[in-house]
Amino acid sequence: MTRPVAVWWVKRDTRLADNACLAEAAQLGLDVLPMFCFEPSLLAAGDSSAMHAHAQWQAVSGLRTGLRNYGADIVIAHGGAVEKLAKLLAVVPFTHLFAHEEIGNDLTFRRDRAVATWCRDRGVDYREFPQSSVRRSGVNRDHLQRMWQSRIVEVSPLPVPAFRQSDELRQLAASTTFPKLPAFTSNRLWQPVSEADAHATMADFLTRRGRWYRGGISSPNTAFTAGSRLSVHLTWGTLTARQVWHAVRDRTADLDPNDPQSSRWKQSLEAFVSRLHWRDHFTQRLESEPELEFRSIHPCYRNVPYENDEQLHTAWREGRTGYPLVDAVMRCLAATGFVNFRMRAMVVSFACHVLHLDWRLIHPHLARVFRDYDPGIHLNQLQMQAGVVGWNAIRVYNPAKQLADWDADCRFVKQWVPELRAVPAERIVAGENLPDYPSSVVPFAERAKRMTDQLYAIRRTAEAKAATAAVYLMHGSRKKEQSFRPKKPKRPAPPPIPTLFDALPSD
């Protein structure tokens, strides 16, 4: 081996384009050796599932194909990251290790630190590169917009660089094979995840499906096509937010003002781009306060008296609550790994407000059935929908109203709850007792009121009001709800108007 070697430790950045690790290796003239490690500790974690392992397997397979097109290959390993890097170092004396700066949960953060220490002890030059606008170790939220500008807007996505890999390294990498894990079998209901799929999905959204985005993402019947469906790609790193942002900007510039559809397109693309921002907004919260994986962001909501009834938990997980839309969503998630924002919010609201289950109890199951599971978004959304954040309106989604509003002909419900297929939609929407279908496990209104009364009682305490200001200052959005910032201490703004039972959700 003549040239020095940089190992590109592939994690949630399974792509060749807009990849700082690959670009840095090329820039420094190093031979690059990509390595992906299937880590048993991550695969066995409570928030991990076969759906995720499968997504990674597909993404890495796609990356291998992409690399082979450039005459290169990737080392596939199965074991702890430090252990496998040590084995690799014994064979290939690499001088550099490049990885993306992963903003994940406690487990991946500790793993990353262990790798950093290992590198330091062995004199390996370890560098991490951000792939979003999220700033490591937190940031003053007043600067978040600036971070977005400087990392996403003002920098063009990196092209695939002219990188090098010696024949010796390529042969070594090519000799490694995927571990034989049961998850690595195809499932046609799971959205494909690879760099090629990411670009095809984005192109299809920006030229065809995106027109229906605004107005189309609320119903579970239309969101599968009207939504971008880019979440799995952003989660597993087959695409970056920067690539998406720049593609949307180009598409917007290309809109023909004479086209009668152009204003519809414009509105849809604007609505879509704001959600890309939300992604980093929530992920920054987790980075700034990693403890919110385990406790609510607001100190006064850490001991909400949830019942955590195991039978209700099981009924919710299995989609047997007697609430047709809730059951359909839970079964759809288990089968496909996807539902839209509104339906995700509804099943969380139902679990926490109506079944009185702690958001920490329902977290692992939901994480496992979301193919796009991303801790930063997920943990924050769980807390928001559970009403334990402290400053946003407490939203209780009434599943009966959601059904009437978004699936009045029960197409979605009948697809996922086959025992209701023969029942006329009007009877399902009317909430009648139906044969061959369980009656409601608990009464909705009474239970929802009991939980929201408790949450509002906490909110009214002086202690909670004081804490809200501090938590908001650290984590709140800077565009709205400025009232919680301590700029006008003498005239505190009134608390947000409680909007019970179906306020418009922020999707």
Which residues inside 374-393 make contact with ligand FAD, applying CB under 6 A? 374, 377-378, 381-382, 385
Judged by CB under 6 A, which of 16, 74, 276, 464 binds ligand FAD?
276
Nearer to ligand FAD, 99 or 206 (CB): 206
Judged by CB under 6 A, which of 54, 151, 275, 285 binds ligand FAD?
275
Q: Is 45:364 a contact under the CB 8 Å cutoff?
A: no
Nearer to ligand FAD, 37 or 206 (CB): 206
Distance CA 274, CA 270 (A): 6
Judged by CB under 6 A, which of 344, 368, 447, 459 binds ligand FAD?
344
Q: In angstroms, what CA-CA distances link 35 with 67, 75, 93, 360, 444?
A: 12, 5, 14, 34, 51
Distance CA 37, CA 75 (A): 8
Nearer to ligand FAD, 382 or 403 (CB): 382
Distance CA 504, CA 156 (A): 36
Nearer to ligand FAD, 48 or 385 (CB): 385
Distance CA 439, CA 329 (A): 17
- The answer to whether residue 227 forms part of the interface with ligand FAD (CB under 6 A) is yes
Instruction: Using the rule CB under 6 A, give the single segment among 47-55, 73-81, 274-282, 318-326 that binds ligand FAD.
Output: 274-282
- The answer to whether residue 206 forms part of the interface with ligand FAD (CB under 6 A) is no
- The answer to whether residue 345 forms part of the interface with ligand FAD (CB under 6 A) is yes
- The answer to whether residue 362 forms part of the interface with ligand FAD (CB under 6 A) is no
Nearer to ligand FAD, 52 or 64 (CB): 52
Q: Is 233:239 a contact under the CB 8 Å cutoff?
A: yes
Nearer to ligand FAD, 8 or 148 (CB): 148
- Look-up of token digits 């692992």: 364
Instruction: Using the rule CB under 6 A, give the single segment among 39-47, 271-279, 300-308, 405-413 that binds ligand FAD.
Output: 271-279
Size of the site for ligand FAD (CB under 6 A): 28
Which long-range contacts (C-beta less than 8 Å, at least 24 apart) are formed by 205-213?
Answer: 205/229, 205/230, 206/247, 206/248, 206/251, 206/269, 207/251, 210/265, 210/268, 210/269, 210/272, 211/261, 211/264, 211/265, 211/268, 212/268, 213/268, 213/269, 213/271, 213/272
Of the candidates 356, 440, 346, 357, the one whose C-alpha atom is nearest the C-alpha of residue 396 is: 346
Instruction: Using the rule CB under 6 A, give the single segment among 27-35, 110-118, 304-312, 367-375 that binds ligand FAD.
Output: 367-375
Site residues, ligand FAD (CB under 6 A): 217, 227-231, 234-235, 272, 275-276, 278-279, 282, 340-341, 344-345, 348, 370, 372-374, 377-378, 381-382, 385
